[in-house]
Amino acid sequence: MAVEYNGTTGTADAGYSSRVSNLNIFYDTGHMAFITLSAVLVLLMIPGVGFFYSGLARRKSALQLVLLSMLSVAVVGFQWFFWGYSLAFSRTGNAFLGDLSQFGLMKTIGQPNGSSAMPDILFCLYQGMFASITPALAIGAVADRGRMLPAIVFIFVWSTIVYDPIAYWTWNANGWLSKLPSYDFAGGGPVHIASGSCALAYSLMLGKRTGYSGTGGLPYRPHSVTNVVLGTVFLWVGWFGFNGGSALSINIRAIMACYVTNLAAACAGITWVLLDYRLERKWSTIGFCSGAISGLVAITPAAGFVAPWAALVIGVCGGLCCNFATKLKFLTGVDDALDIFAVHGIGGMVGNILTGIFGASYIAGLDGNTYPPIGWVDRHWVQLGNQLAGVLAAFTWSFVMTCLILFLMNLVPGLSLRVSADDEDVGIDDCQLGEFAYDYVELTRHVADTTTTVSERHASSDASTAANEKALPPIISAA
């Protein structure tokens, strides 16, 4: 058993005020191992985002999305060390934002933070992965038309001005949403609503892609369904660390969070497939993957508060709402290329709201602590209003500030957001990276394969085959 921490608390401190030579005596190695593994699982999710987005995009812009997801780890990794962690999780600060008492991770070693089960530096590592994946989710909005340099600069600025304050409001004990309280177990507001509304704003500021139709989008198919499935697998596996690790120690609550996460994803995947089947009479692989992600998003704020039966309802509602939300871009005229707002923005809202309905104190108490009544299940009717406050705060702050950041950046020489029309036609991978996801790039199929009927494509293929056969020399039989 670990010894109860006896050093200074409530202020930034390295952890040595207890005057012990071995800080490890204050922590259980099992808890620390679990959170470290959870951090690694969240890191695994970030290339999963890249593969998922890359598969949905056109071949000529596929590599950019993978690269930007990994650059998010690098840029936010520095930002989190520099001042991000201090702004979001310093022990002192007002109701809106933390201070710089832990700037550059000074005095950030062995004092508990987040929970008594982990030292400050471990909490910093784990939360840093959340900070890294959030802009990676949002930056998919640049698909097919956004420049790299502004996107990289934007990740740093947005993490500082948007993500850190929302994370502080939600998870820091001094934050105004935490004091309300508005419950958010693993990031429905700071991660999903913030990234979804950011993607909506980025898409709006970039403008529509060339050839975009207000009723049909762009006439092309996702270039690699296999990459979409691969990205979904990475995300689904990593979400066990994302939600389970948010219990901040290994206990029954963490296990319950993992179980309801899996259940919600499964139910949402089935829901989305059936919704698509009713229209197309086809069993859609991409539909299943999109549905599973929507269920994972919706259960995120509720994972540590709801029973399995409620997770089933949340999964179905998440898949249903996010599926219909994919049509919003045609109503608003915003070219959200990868439906990031529909899945993450709307999914996060659904999860946050349903937490106010299905949240139960006896589920939260599975970590060994005592909690007041949470949601309508506990007859705590006012909680729904608190949850709505969290939803509106996260959406409004992220959307407005993203528009403002991008507007100002676009005025700076060298930071124009969008590539030229010629570069867009050639492809982002060619003009911005000089590298390709594959060893060849098709310049015509991304449009032509969907502007003809199936029978016309087959006829064209048959004619091409016949022409090739005529051009070949006759085969001489060995007999």
Banded model confidence at residue 4, pLDDT cuts 50, 70, 90: confident
pLDDT at 442: 53
Structure tokens at 337: 């290329």
Which one-letter DSSP state was computed for residue 345?
A: I
pLDDT of residue 452: 47
Looking at every residue in the chain, the average pLDDT score rounds to: 90
Q: Among residues of the chain, what percentage have pLDDT more than 70?
A: 91
pLDDT in tens, 206-216: 999 888 877 67
Return the bridge partners of 146, or none.
418
| 221 pLDDT above the threshold of 90 | no
pLDDT score of 354 more than 90: yes
| pLDDT (average), residues 428-441 | 84
Q: Comparing C-alpha atoms, which of 404, 15, 44, 451 is closest to residue 239? A: 44
Residue 5 near residue 116 (C-beta atoms within 8 A): yes
Confidence band (pLDDT; 50, 70, 90) for 1? low
pLDDT of residue 15: 83
Give how far Cα 358 sits from Cα of 313, 322, 361, 424, Å. 9, 19, 10, 46
User: Would you tell me how many other CB atoms lie within 10 Å of the CB of residue 445?
Assistant: 13
Q: What separation, in Å, do the N-terminal and C-terminal C-alpha atoms of the chain show?
A: 84
pLDDT band at 18 (very low <50, low <70, confident <90, very high): confident
User: Which residues are paired to 119 by β-bridges?
Assistant: 112
202: enclosing H helix or E strand: helix 194-206
- H helices present in 281-410, as ranges: 285-299, 308-325, 328-332, 340, 346-358, 361-364, 383-410
Q: How far apart are CA 303 and CA 258, in angstroms?
A: 8
Report in angstroms the alpha-carbon separations of 263 from 105, 163, 203, 313.
Answer: 38, 28, 32, 10
Classify each residue of 376-407 as buried b or exposed e, where b means 16 or more C-beta atoms within 10 Å of its C-beta: bbbebeebbebbeebbebbbebbbebbbebbe
CA gap 293, 266 in Å, rounded = 9
